[in-house]
Amino acid sequence: MAPLALALAWVCLLAGPVATARAQTASTQPSPAAPSGAAPAPAAATPSTAAPSTAAPDTASHAADEAQTEIENQKKELESLGRELEERRAKSQQLRGRERNLLGELKEKEVQLSLTIRYLAALEKRRKIVSSDLGDATTELARTAVQLDSDRRRLAWRLREIYKRGRSRDIEYLLSARTFPDLVNRTYFLAKVAREDKNQMLLTQAHRAEVQDTKARLEARQHELDRLKRETERQRQAQKQLASDRRVLLAQIRGERKSNEQAAAELERASKRIQALIGELEKRRLAGERGGPGGVLPLFGDFSRNKGRLPWPVTGKVMGSFGYMRNPRFGTSTYNSGIDIQAAFGTPIAAVSKARVDYVSWLDGYGKCAILNHGGGFYTLYAHASEILVAVGKQVEAGEIIGRVGDTGSTIGTALHFEIRQGKTAVNPLDWLR
């Protein structure tokens, strides 16, 4: 019994250190072969469940995290736009019943309509993102479900093997060693089998957790898709109502004498606001030329030499001439400080000469507009745009696209309102265009 006791003592003493040392060198050295005639080692799960390289999973995980971050950021942007729209509608409701400002009402309808269109576009973008993520999650669930099923079958097979063999077989396997090196090798093999069994169990647990997480993600995305569908339908109804309200308001302005006169008076006031605005821009220009405070770098161009030679900002029929225009139905007169050029919605608007963008905003009666500074006290104004494509401070060349034709703030339909001003004084654009 003394040799057996000594062998068991050596097994207890060496099994841990030897197994650790063998495991650390297993990736660079071949595993020791079982001696000839030795009993076979207990079978491990097949195929091997040793942990794979982490490089590929880490890369995939990083890409997935980035995708989820983008999804969450877009969700925040959508929620912010939705809050802005609801606040605008609530404010509009509060102002109801006060003294009417027709151009102000028209502006409010158009701003809400523009916000609603932007919100609908954001909802559609969100729907596509969520649908794509739903498809990815469905594919991922199918993949991990297959992996989990395979893991469970391997684990079940291994548990059956352990149950059939019993733990005493491991002791028999060790005690049947004929030499001390053989004993060490057998100890290493048993430790390796135990590690692989543990790895298989951990892998199965990880895949099960992954399947559960993916199912939860699928359910959340499906609920969000349903919510987006309902919200999109609600906003489309709101868009139809706003468009209808705008048409009614325009028909009222065009068809009722009182409303027409009120709108004409408001347009006069809007023109004076433009005059005051350009007066401020001109003060800044002159201050810049004198090197005074608040000035900007001056433009030195030859705009004044181009009278009768400027290109048209858009091609189309002039539906509103410069100066006083008489309404044949009501006999009212309205002063037009520029010309109105009929053009299709979305037609590109071109700068008529080299300039710097000094102003981009919404003005009652003008809608979305831009004012370009051509130097020497000359300015051009482009109004009723559906969108302005340049920012304040940008230098533009002659013919460069600065916006697109629309009907914002317009009571005459889709058209470009174009003005040329020398200082604060409006001049007839037709004298300058070729």
State how far the Cα of 74 lies from the Cα of 66, in Å rounded to an integer: 12
Query: Are 261 and 102 contacting, i.e. CB atoms less than 8 angstroms apart?
Result: no
Q: Which residue has the tokens 């220009």?
A: 285
Q: Which residues in 199-330 belong to E strands, given as ranges?
A: 317-320, 323-326
Asked if pLDDT for residue 31 goes beyond 60, the answer is no
What are 249-308's pLDDT values in tens digits? Answer: 777 766 666 666 666 666 777 777 787 788 777 777 676 655 544 444 445 467 888 888
Choice between 421 and 243, residue whose per-residue pLDDT is larger: 421
Mean local confidence (pLDDT), 170-174: 77
Ramachandran angles phi, psi of 229, nearest 5° = -65, -45
Give me the CATH topology for the region 265-431: Glucose Permease (Domain IIA) (2.70.70)
Residues sharing a CB contact under 8 Å with residue 407, sequence separation 6 or more, in sequence order: 345, 367, 384, 386, 413, 414, 415
Mean local confidence (pLDDT), 373-397: 92
The pLDDT assigned to 280 comes to 79
pLDDT band of residue 225 (cuts 50, 70, 90) is confident
What are 103-126's pLDDT values in tens digits? Answer: 667 777 888 888 888 888 888 888
Of 54-68, 94-108, 194-208, 310-324, least confident by mean pLDDT is 54-68
Closest by CA position to 429, among listed 335, 336, 324: 336
DSSP 316: S
Closest by CA position to 252, among listed 243, 263, 242, 237: 263
The pLDDT assigned to 59 comes to 57
State how far the Cα of 369 lies from the Cα of 419, in Å rounded to an integer: 11
Choice between 80 and 93, residue whose per-residue pLDDT is larger: 80
Closest by CA position to 380, among listed 353, 405, 403: 353
Of 91-95, 185-189, 236-240, least confident by mean pLDDT is 91-95
How much is the mean pLDDT over the chain?
A: 76
Closest by CA position to 72, among listed 137, 121, 126: 126
Q: Helices marked H in 256-305 — which ranges?
A: 257-290
The pLDDT assigned to 101 comes to 63
Asked if pLDDT for residue 156 goes beyond 90, the answer is no
Asked if pLDDT for residue 143 goes beyond 80, the answer is yes
Domain residue spans of the chain: 2-25+64-247, 265-431
pLDDT band of residue 16 (cuts 50, 70, 90) is very low
Residue 56: exposed, middle, or buried by beta-carbon count in 10 A (0-12, 13-18, 19+)? exposed
- Listing DSSP states for 50-98 in one string gives PPPPSHHHHHHHHHHHHHHHHHHHHHHHHHHHHHHHHHHHHHHHHTTTS
Choice between 329 and 229, residue whose per-residue pLDDT is larger: 229
